[in-house]
Amino acid sequence: MKGTRAGWDSLLYRGYIIGGILGVLAVTVATVVLFDPQGRTMLPVYTGGGCATIYLFGFLAYWWAQLPLPGYADAERFPAGAGKVAPDISALKS
């Protein structure tokens, strides 16, 4: 998706991916350090899992919003470098 300013080509997307992973880790570690010194509760699992779930829903929402834009879900779109017309079946024999 080079040149589309979407996906990994977008600075905001890269920030969300890297920042989200670091954020989930930070919340989980902070919960362990602050609220669970003896390791007896499931609070870190719940907070880490909740943060990871919210992060993944944001990731899915981003791509769900990208699909209606032109060029992503276009069935007539050819890959870069491909011709306008598909080759004949005889091309498979060679």
Contacts within 8 Å (CB) and 24+ apart, 41-49 = 48/24
pLDDT digits (tens, 9 = 90+) for 28-60: 999 988 887 777 788 888 999 999 999 999 989
pLDDT of residue 35: 84
Instruction: Tell me the per-residue pLDDT of 6-31, one tens digit each, with 9 for 90 and over.
Output: 677 778 888 999 999 999 999 999 99
Angle between helices 43-66 and 11-35 (to 10 degrees): 170
The pLDDT of residue 67 is: 76
Cα separation values, 31 from 19, 36, 43, 62, Å: 18, 7, 7, 28
Distances from the Cα of 89 to the Cαs of 24, 53, 62, 86, in angstroms? 51, 46, 39, 9
